[in-house]
Amino acid sequence: MKKKIWKYLSLLRVGVLEEMQFRLGAAVRLFGNIIYLIIIYFLWKAIFDSSPTEVVNGMTFTDTMIYLVLASALFSTMEMYVTWQMGRSVQSGNIVMDLLRPMGYTTYNLFVFSGNTLVSVFVNLIPTMIIVYLITSGGFALSWNLLFFMAAVFMGTILNFFINFFVGIICFYTESIWGINIMKEVVVMLLSGASIPLAFFPETLQRIVYYLPFQAIYNTPLTLLIDNHLSTTERLSMLGIQLFWLVIVGAVSQVFLRVSMKRITVNGG
């Protein structure tokens, strides 16, 4: 048992080291994120200034900004290149090596990519949260909500991994990486509430979105962090829904992987 845990931890370490290697890339990304946030700030400021009321759909300008800034930090923290990697390894034939490892293909990828995310949590998510907290002088509470938030980020990361993993298996069949990826990105971006808060969606669309797994990635952690009016039961049920999707998407992707393994053809290798 102890040996097994050590095995997984060393994979996590690989992911961490891999991510630390690209420091210049991180700097460029940070710069890009800052300018992106400036754009978002001015855009929403202009929007709220043009509105006759200060509160729109229950959100003030400050609420919206807190939501969007944290959403963007969460998005870049959880961003995984699982789909790209899987697509590319099937095209190059390297997937044969991955499958020969004395460990499940899913487990291997899950731990390496979680290592990447772990680094991002410390260099990206936590600093952003501190800055947001200081600028808004207490835009979110420092209480039990942080614990719920952490749990939700943890599960959101794994859910995000499984969604990416599922889409990655589709790449085994299509040999189209860019097209599949862009479709996934567009759908997740819009329906998870990462680009526009879900509160702004028209009612019907909102209802549909809440029945889909994507909102559990970013919207659940963010709501748990920001919304003070939730009861503990509501919070637990939100985590429950997240867990539900995690299990469903995880199981479906495993079945899909098993079926696909019998059918794929690998070029070269």
Partner 1 sequence: MNQTLKKRGLRFYASIYFKIIAQDFKSKMSYRADFIISTLGMIMTNISGFIAFYIMFQNFETINGWNYYEMLFLYGFSLIALTPMQCLFDNNWNLRYKVYEGDFIKYCFRPINIFFYFISEVFDVKGLGQLLMGSLTLAYAWNKLSLPFTVGTAVLLVLALITGSLFMIAIMNLAAATCFWIINSGYVMVTMFKFTEYAKYPVTIYQGIFRVLFTFVIPIAFVAYYPSYIFLRSGVPILTCMSPLFGIFFFWVSYKVWMLGASKYAGTGN
Instruction: Please give the residue ranges that form the binding site for partner 1 (CB under 8 A).
Output: 22, 24-25, 28-29, 31-32, 35-36, 38-39, 42-43, 45-47, 49-51, 56-57, 174-176, 178-183, 186-187, 189-190, 195-196, 200-202, 205
Q: How far is the CB of 36 from partner 1 (least distance, A)?
A: 7
- Quick one: 40 or 151, whose CB is closer to partner 1? 40
Q: How far is the CB of 2 from partner 1 (least distance, A)?
A: 39
- Quick one: 74 or 155, whose CB is closer to partner 1? 74
Q: How far is the CB of 176 from partner 1 (least distance, A)?
A: 4
Residue 184, helix vs strand vs coil: helix
Q: How far is the CB of 211 from partner 1 (least distance, A)?
A: 17
Q: How far is the CB of 17 from partner 1 (least distance, A)?
A: 17
**Gyration radius of the chain's alpha carbons:** 20
- Quick one: 191 or 216, whose CB is closer to partner 1? 191
Q: How far is the CB of 206 from partner 1 (least distance, A)?
A: 10
- Quick one: 31 or 244, whose CB is closer to partner 1? 31
For residue 268, give Cα distances in angstroms to 91, 92, 94, 95. Answer: 8, 7, 8, 10
Residues ≥6 apart with Cβ < 8 Å to 192: 214, 215, 217, 218, 219
Q: Are the beta carbons of 217 and 159 closer than 8 angstroms?
A: yes
- Quick one: 51 or 92, whose CB is closer to partner 1? 51
Q: How far is CA 33 from the centre of its chain?
A: 16
* CA-based nearest residue to 120, from 160, 163, 165, 89: 160
Long-range Cβ contacts of 13-16 (<8 Å, 24+ apart): 13/115, 14/112, 14/115, 15/111, 15/112, 15/113, 15/114, 15/115, 15/116, 15/117, 15/118, 15/119, 16/115, 16/116, 16/118, 16/119
**29 membership: H or E segment, kind and range:** helix 23-50
- Quick one: 91 or 254, whose CB is closer to partner 1? 91
- Quick one: 73 or 152, whose CB is closer to partner 1? 73
Q: How far is the CB of 57 from partner 1 (least distance, A)?
A: 6
Place of tokens 């809440």: 210
